[in-house]
């Protein structure tokens, strides 16, 4: 094992001594590099993704393509126009108005929650692709409390959130336990648990405990007002206390990772499981622990998807693609809770803008998914960005999580 | 790795773990026997009979049905499975654990089917035929993973390769015909394989992240194109289908004929590919070199094998196989491309690769197990059992989970699996 020394995602780094750095930012983000350097890579990654996205929009414009033979210049102009209309809608939808900004915050809320969940796993060397399944189970647990317990709002919402944490933690705990006991790789187990959770939720939504009376399709009853997240900025904007919960989750994970001894052990296991074992840490139970906490956070993201937006009902797809967006988010935020917060706002803007783009220019929202894939590539391979944009080399090593199948 | 003394101790520890597993499997079998005795035997009306049809209506010999009393069969199966479990428990039979488990599970499945089909008629041959068909994408996925992991590149992106090549096969197949569809799918699979190799070898991206990127990218792009392009151009989403090729004489064998010898060309090609890869990996220079790169790249490099070139070549060849699997999905099973139509089959293939212990024939056997799980789920849906359909749909994923959780024992991957290589 001497020839390849794996470095974990954003291992605690030495700060370069002489460069200018705002102390609070370094402390807050733990990135340890100067502000410009910290923001350069994500900015370039986003730029590259937007450029690529523009090409995709232009090359799938069927009307313009049909024109290409007779009138090549006109076709190109039409393509450019299509791209500019789409991107204008994207930016206006995300930042152009107070409502746009509120939509960005609204879209960012579950992303931040799921993102810190995945980032926490990354720190301990666990690749949790199962945030979607954990969201589904956590959301259904919250749903159950919401529908079958009668309490005033002040108690009802916290109780539902506790249920969501427990549901998500238990579901992720299966993967953690399997990894700890049998070495089964979490990438496969969490993906399988996603599918199982999906069918389980579909089943649950067809039985009387959850299903809305008189329905044939899997849809739950509507949550009572006491279990709905109140809006922060009035009923015109969809931002709810879910955003505050997401920020609280960021603070919590930040404390857990960098201020608690458990977090130190998590990071140690992620950095080098063999050394951690040698140092007397119980690696097996640490895997289980980090997976459960990660799943609990994802469960809260799931609760947000049923309690935090109209119609306050659950369907089998209420988790959407958030569990996968969270992977991009965690990488973009360098597996740091505060980084994830900013990355969540950025991807939230992309999503809110993407919805506006879908409405204004009929560009399917899936384009945002493609952009996310590209952002991950560029963040995970800084050298690629270097080659494309010819910027100065940076000392950052590529992110590395893989330790084979053996665990 | 470490000193010999500690490795000797490790061997002993592993042996006791194997013994524990053997005893555990014994307990599981006894539990299954008790369950069969109670649920499919005592709990069932003693007069009910299940009819298993052993021939398709189109076969040459059609009058071969097997009629059996459900309760009697359950008691017999409970006896056999219980006996196997007892043997396993008493002798802690380490070597034959997996065989015992497999035999026990087959008998369990038989009793289960007899219970599900009690008082009805069930086409056993139809289910086994579906097993073979449904095993193909899983086997091809497993072979893709095997090609990559034998040279120490973990390929999590098989799912994305299958999806993207299924899309290419649909579009090109609709526009230019069957073989153009196959060609396009194989090219797309190979391109994504090259992309994976490029990211992981040239840029040393984490292999799992690179695979996840391919999955997200393929899902996003195909969904985007399906909504933006295929929705407008419907004629690009109506691919032709490969017809079955009936092998003379062999197809007339009762039971075996319809199960194995009356399929489209993908199924024969998959069987052939398994044989080719087995011979290739274990009896040719290419195979020896590939395996050495996967086990000990430094040593391989020292004797003059180009590690990087070997890895590129195998990962791209793996992509070809995945592309072939994608073509199978959209040119034989359904004619329309649907968003995320692979539904996890690439990941199941990865599990099949592990279950099959990184061996081509193992991949085929594991593929058949998963194919059986999926066929069971489809055919039970027709029988209208009291089991909710959602739980039947879960079955393949549940089986995968149980398999990777090590019910089949710990398998040992290639030694350098997942580690990037740096030339000194």
If contacts are CB pairs under 8 Å, which of residues 390-419 in chain B contact chain A? 390-391, 393-394, 397-398, 400-401, 404-406, 410, 412-413, 417-419
Secondary structure (3-state) at A335: coil
**Domain covering A35-389: architecture:** Orthogonal Bundle (1.10)
Residue A8 pLDDT greater than 60, yes or no: no
Cβ within 8 Å, pair A200-B206: no
Digit-coded pLDDT (tens) for A97-116: 899 999 999 999 999 999 99
Let me know if residue B4 belongs to a domain.
no
Tell me the Cα Rg of chain B.
23
Let me know whether B179 and B107 are in one domain.
no
pLDDT at A12: 43
A247 Cβ under 8 Å from any chain B Cβ = no
Digit-coded pLDDT (tens) for A187-221: 889 989 999 999 999 999 999 999 999 888 899 99
Let me know whether B75 and B89 are in one domain.
yes
pLDDT at B13: 53
Q: Which two tokens stand for residue A121?
A: 């796993």
Let me know whether B91 and B138 are in one domain.
no
Where does the pLDDT of residue A21 fall: very low under 50, low under 70, confident under 90, or very high at 90 and above? very low
Cβ within 8 Å, pair A4-B229: no
Residue B360 pLDDT greater than 60, yes or no: yes
For chains A and B, count residue pairs whose Cβ atoms are closer than 8 Å. 163
A317 Cβ under 8 Å from any chain B Cβ = no
pLDDT at A6: 43
Nearest CA in chain B to A177: B405
Let me know whether B277 and B155 are in one domain.
yes
Let me know whether B61 and B207 are in one domain.
no
Cβ within 8 Å, pair A183-B406: yes
Of A366, A374, A405, which has the smallest distance from its Cβ to B413's Cβ?
A405
Digit-coded pLDDT (tens) for B221-248: 999 999 888 888 888 888 888 888 888 8
Let me know whether B129 and B248 are in one domain.
yes
Let me know if residue B5 belongs to a domain.
no
Cα A405 to Cα A184: distance, rounded to the nearest angstrom: 7
Digit-coded pLDDT (tens) for A139-188: 999 999 999 999 998 999 999 999 999 999 999 999 999 888 887 888 88
Let me know whether B64 and B204 are in one domain.
no
Q: Report yes or no on whether pTM surpasses 0.90.
A: no
Cβ within 8 Å, pair A185-B347: no
Cβ within 8 Å, pair A402-B208: yes
With contacts defined as CB-CB under 8 Å, which chain B residues touch A183? Answer: 406, 410
Kindly state the average pLDDT of the residues B115-136: 88
Let me know if residue B191 belongs to a domain.
yes
- Measured in angstroms, the CA of B214 and the nearest CA of chain A are apart by 8
With contacts defined as CB-CB under 8 Å, which chain A residues touch B347? Answer: 188, 191-192
Let me know whether B378 and B332 are in one domain.
yes
Cα A259 to Cα A253: distance, rounded to the nearest angstrom: 9
Q: Which two tokens stand for residue B157?
A: 């992106």
Nearest CA in chain B to A203: B390
Cβ within 8 Å, pair B419-A402: yes
**Mean pLDDT value across chain B:** 86
* DSSP string for A250-288: HHHHHHHHHHSHHHHHHHHHHH-HHHHHHTT--HHHHHH
pLDDT at A62: 80
Of B154, B227, B298, which has the smallest distance from its Cβ to A366's Cβ?
B227
Cβ neighbours of A169 (radius 10 Å): 24
Q: Comparing B185 with A62, which gets the higher pLDDT?
A: B185
With contacts defined as CB-CB under 8 Å, which chain B residues touch A374? Answer: 217
Digit-coded pLDDT (tens) for A32-56: 445 566 677 778 888 888 999 999 9
Q: How many domains, chain B? A: 2
Residue B6 pLDDT greater than 70, yes or no: no
Kindly state the average pLDDT of the residues A233-245: 91
Q: What is the CATH number of the domain that holds B380?
A: 1.10.3470.10
Residue that terminates a domain, selected from B119, B139, B159: B119
Cα B116 to Cα B387: distance, rounded to the nearest angstrom: 10
**Mean pLDDT value across chain A:** 84
Residue A22 pLDDT greater than 50, yes or no: no
Let me know if residue B267 belongs to a domain.
yes
From A198-207, A221-230, B110-119, the region with the lowest mean pLDDT: B110-119
Domain span holding position B50 = 12-119
Digit-coded pLDDT (tens) for A269-313: 888 888 888 998 888 889 999 999 999 999 999 999 999 998 899
The values of phi and psi at residue B409, to 5°, are 90, 160
Let me know if residue B217 belongs to a domain.
yes
Let me know whether B157 and B103 are in one domain.
no
pLDDT at A60: 86
Let me know whether B195 and B291 are in one domain.
yes
Three-state SS annotation for chain B = CCCHHHHHHHHHHHHHHHHHHHHHHHHHHHHHHHHHHHHHHHCCCCCCEEEEECCCCCCCCCCCEEEEEHHHHHHHHHHHHHHHHHHHHHHCCCCCHHHHHHHHHHHHHHHHHHHHCECCEEEHHHHHHHHHHHHHHHHHHHHHHHHHHCCCCCCCCHHHHHHHHHHHHHHHHHHHCHHHHHHHHHHHHHHHHHHHHHHHHHCCCCHHHHHHHHHHHHHHHHHHHHHHHHCCCHHHHCCCCCCCEECCCHHHCCCHHHHHCEECHHHHHHHHHHHHHHHHHHHCHHHHHHHHHHHCHHHHHHCCCCHHHHHHHHHHHHHHHHHHHHHHHHHHHCCCCCCCCCCCHHHHHHHHHHHCCCCHHHHHHHHHHHHHHHHHHHHHHHHCCCCCHHHHHHHHHHHHHHHHHHHCCCCCCCCCCCCCCCCC
With contacts defined as CB-CB under 8 Å, which chain A residues touch B216? Answer: 324, 327-328, 369, 372-373, 376
Let me know whether B50 and B165 are in one domain.
no
- Measured in angstroms, the CA of B9 and the nearest CA of chain A are apart by 17
Of B203, B229, B354, which has the smallest distance from its Cβ to A60's Cβ?
B229
Let me know whether B111 and B129 are in one domain.
no
């Amino acid at each position: 094992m001497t020839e390849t020394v794996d470095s974990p995602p954003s291992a605690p780094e030495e700060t370069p001594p002489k460069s200018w750095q705002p102390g609070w930012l370094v402390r807050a983000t733990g990135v340890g590099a100067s502000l410009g350097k910290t923001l350069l890579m994500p900015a370039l990654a986003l730029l590259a993704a937007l450029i690529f996205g523009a090409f995709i929009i232009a090359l799938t414009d069927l009307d313009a393509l049909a024109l290409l033979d007779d009138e090549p210049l006109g076709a190109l102009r039409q393509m450019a126009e299509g791209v500019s209309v789409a991107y204008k809608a994207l930016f206006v939808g995300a930042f152009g108005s107070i409502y746009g900004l509120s939509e960005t915050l609204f879209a960012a809320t579950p992303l931040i929650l799921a993102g810190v969940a995945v980032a926490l796993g990354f720190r301990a060397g666990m690749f949790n692709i199962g945030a979607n399944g954990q969201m589904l189970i956590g959301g259904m647990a919250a749903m159950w409390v919401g529908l079958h317990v009668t309490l005033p709002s002040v108690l009802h919402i916290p109780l539902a959130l506790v249920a969501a944490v427990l549901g998500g933690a238990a579901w992720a705990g299966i993967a953690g336990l399997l990894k700890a006991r049998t070495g089964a790789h979490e990438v496969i187990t969490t993906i399988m648990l996603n599918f199982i959770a999906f069918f389980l939720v579909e089943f649950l939504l067809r039985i009387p405990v959850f299903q809305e009376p008189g329905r044939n399709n899997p849809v739950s009853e509507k949550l009572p007002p006491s279990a709905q997240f109140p809006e922060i900025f009035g009923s015109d904007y969809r931002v709810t206390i879910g955003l505050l919960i997401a920020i609280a989750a960021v603070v919590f994970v930040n404390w857990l990772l960098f201020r608690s001894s458990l977090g130190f052990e998590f990071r140690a296991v992620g950095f080098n499981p063999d050394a951690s074992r040698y140092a007397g840490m119980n690696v097996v139970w640490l895997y289980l622990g980090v997976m459960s906490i990660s799943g609990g956070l994802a469960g809260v993201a799931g609760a947000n998807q049923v309690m935090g937006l109209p119609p306050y009902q659950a369907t089998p797809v209420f988790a959407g693609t958030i569990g996968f967006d969270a992977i991009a988010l965690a990488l973009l935020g360098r597996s740091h809770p505060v980084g994830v917060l900013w990355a969540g706002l950025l991807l939230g803007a992309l999503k809110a803008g993407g919805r506006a783009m879908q409405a204004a220019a009929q560009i399917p929202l899936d384009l945002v998914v493609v952009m996310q894939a590209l952002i991950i590539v560029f963040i995970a391979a800084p050298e690629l960005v270097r080659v494309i944009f010819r910027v100065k080399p940076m000392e950052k090593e590529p992110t590395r999580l893989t330790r084979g199948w053996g665990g | 790795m470490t000193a010999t003394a500690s490795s000797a101790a490790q061997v002993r520890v592993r042996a006791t773990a194997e013994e524990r597993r053997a005893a555990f499997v014994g307990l599981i079998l006894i539990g299954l026997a008790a369950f069969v005795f109670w649920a499919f035997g005592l709990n069932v009306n003693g007069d009910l009979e299940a009819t298993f049809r052993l021939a398709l209506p189109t076969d040459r010999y059609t009058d071969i049905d097997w009629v059996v009393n459900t309760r009697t069969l359950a008691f017999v199966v409970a006896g056999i499975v219980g006996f196997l479990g007892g043997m396993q428990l008493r002798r802690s039979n380490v070597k034959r654990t997996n065989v015992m488990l497999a035999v026990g599970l087959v008998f369990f499945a038989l009793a289960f089917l007899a219970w599900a089909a009690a008082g009805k008629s069930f086409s056993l041959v139809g289910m086994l035929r579906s097993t073979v068909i449904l095993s193909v994408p899983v086997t091809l996925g497993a072979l893709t993973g095997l090609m990559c992991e034998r040279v120490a590149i973990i390929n999590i992106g098989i799912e994305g390769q299958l999806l993207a090549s299924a899309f290419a096969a649909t579009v090109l197949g609709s526009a230019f015909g069957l073989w153009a569809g196959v060609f396009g799918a194989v090219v797309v699979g190979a391109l994504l394989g090259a992309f994976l190799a490029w990211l992981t070898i040239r840029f040393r991206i984490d292999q799992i992240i690179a695979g996840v990127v391919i999955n997200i990218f393929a899902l996003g792009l195909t969904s985007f194109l399906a909504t933006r392009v295929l929705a407008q151009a419907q004629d690009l989403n109506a691919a032709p289908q490969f017809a079955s090729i009936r092998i003379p004489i062999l197809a007339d064998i009762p039971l075996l004929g319809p199960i194995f010898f009356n399929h489209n060309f993908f199924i024969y090609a998959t069987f052939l590919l398994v044989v080719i890869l087995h011979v290739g990996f274990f009896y040719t220079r290419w195979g020896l070199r590939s395996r050495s790169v996967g086990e000990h790249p430094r040593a391989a490099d020292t004797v003059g094998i180009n590690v990087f070139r070997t890895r590129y070549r195998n990962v791209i060849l793996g992509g070809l196989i995945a592309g072939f699997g994608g073509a199978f999905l959209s040119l034989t099973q359904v004619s329309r491309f649907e968003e995320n139509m692979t539904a996890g089959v690439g990941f199941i293939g990865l599990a099949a690769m592990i279950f099959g212990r990184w061996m081509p024939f193992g991949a085929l056997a594991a593929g058949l197990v998963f194919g059986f799980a999926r066929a069971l789920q489809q055919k039970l849906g027709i029988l209208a059992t009291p089991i909710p359909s959602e739980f039947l749909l879960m079955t393949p994923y549940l089986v995968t989970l149980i398999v990777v959780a090590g019910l089949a024992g710990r398998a040992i991957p290639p030694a350098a699996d997942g580690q990037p290589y740096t030339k000194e």
